[in-house]
Amino acid sequence: MKSDGAPVTAALRWQVFPDRGALAAHAAELILASAREAIAAHGQFRLVLAGGRTPLAVYARLASAHAEWPHWHWYFGDERCLPAGDAGRNDSAIRHAWLDHIAVPPANIHAIPAELGAQAAARQYAALLAGLGEFDLVLLGLGEDGHTASLFPGRPLVAGADVLAVHAAPKPPSERVTMSAARLSRARQVLFLVTGADKRAAVTAWRAGADIPARAIGGNVQVLLDAEAAAEEPSITGSR
Ligand code: 6PG
């Protein structure tokens, strides 16, 4: 742990794909492989889901995949404080793209009760995560300002907390719940999914060492980008 409470990044690998489709195909394969490994190792696959639009293409591919779904457990990196079932929630979008299309034991989907309001939902979700140990795979997106999950620039990292209530968020809706940087970093693997020209500035800032929330995610981190998002970073090797 760094002095500011940010986790240490053990490995940070960048990989560029020609387009969103190629990235989504690779990410889906990576997730399925990580699941097979985890289930073989400890009988379960604990996956943290990213919100926003970018991962939806990956989730849609997983909707037609074959896997040992009863051994999967789905957690959410963050949620928007909207009524249960609201189309604007991350869990609603993910159910629509993926989980509604596969045979999932309902108890294996660990939604954030964001309908309760940020404070109460954060408390409840922290209690759910207590004693859980590390995740197998954490999926994250990247915002134009360098935010990830609902960890926004200029906000304290709050060392020691697993789940945070977020108020006055710069991205609507303003009330949100998010796992902390430290909790998101407690994972065998972290995978960022980044596509589109609107993410170029955040990618450049990240690589330049700017103090953006995405950089506070530690551990074994892999960043998958499409050529659009990486266009201003020709030094990123490993283009595919
Ligand atoms: C949210 C997300 C957020 C998202 C980024 C990128 O609830 O909005 O958790 O962190 O991942 O804002 O969003 P896009 O993928 O839609 O660009």
pLDDT tens per residue, range 194-240: 999 999 999 999 999 999 999 999 999 999 999 999 999 988 855 44
| pLDDT at 3 > cutoff 60 | no
| Ligand 1 neighbourhood includes 146 CB (under 6 angstroms) | no
| pLDDT at 80 > cutoff 90 | yes
Q: Residue 27 burial by CB count (10 A; 0-12/13-18/19+): exposed, middle or buried?
A: buried
Predicted local distance difference test score (pLDDT) of residue 240: 44
pLDDT tens per residue, range 167-198: 999 999 999 999 999 999 999 999 999 999 99
Length of the chain: 240
Distance between CA atoms of residues 198 and 170, nearest Å: 16
Distance between CA atoms of residues 8 and 33, nearest Å: 25
Predicted local distance difference test score (pLDDT) of residue 5: 53
Cβ 78 vs Cβ 150: under 8 Å: yes
Sheet with strand 163-166: strands edge to edge = 78-80, 176-179, 163-166
Q: How far is the CA of 35 from the centre of ligand 1 (A)?
A: 23
Distance between CA atoms of residues 54 and 139, nearest Å: 11
Predicted local distance difference test score (pLDDT) of residue 4: 52
User: Which residues are CB-neighbours of 240 under 8 A, at least 6 positions away?
Assistant: 15, 16, 17, 18, 22, 26
- Give residue 44's Cα distance to chain centre: 19
Q: How far is the CA of 143 from the centre of ligand 1 (A)?
A: 6
Does the reported pTM lie above 0.75?
A: yes
Among candidate residues 196, 199, 240, the one with its CA nearest the CA of residue 29: 240
Distance between CA atoms of residues 75 and 71, nearest Å: 13
Take residue 140 and report the two structure tokens written for it.
């994250």
pLDDT tens per residue, range 112-168: 999 999 999 999 999 999 999 999 999 999 999 999 999 999 998 777 899 999 999
Predicted local distance difference test score (pLDDT) of residue 9: 63
Count Cα atoms within 13 angstroms, Cβ side, for 138.
Answer: 27
Residue of 49, 82, 89, 150 with the most ligand 1 atoms within 8 Å of its CB, for mutation: 150
Count Cα atoms within 13 angstroms, Cβ side, for 48.
Answer: 32
Distance between CA atoms of residues 160 and 206, nearest Å: 24
Take residue 71 and report the two structure tokens written for it.
């051994």
pLDDT tens per residue, range 6-56: 555 667 999 999 999 999 999 999 999 999 999 999 999 999 999 999 999
Cβ 68 vs Cβ 35: under 8 Å: yes
Take residue 193 and report the two structure tokens written for it.
């999914």
Residue of 79, 89, 147, 174 with the most ligand 1 atoms within 8 Å of its CB, for mutation: 147
| Ligand 1 neighbourhood includes 141 CB (under 6 angstroms) | yes
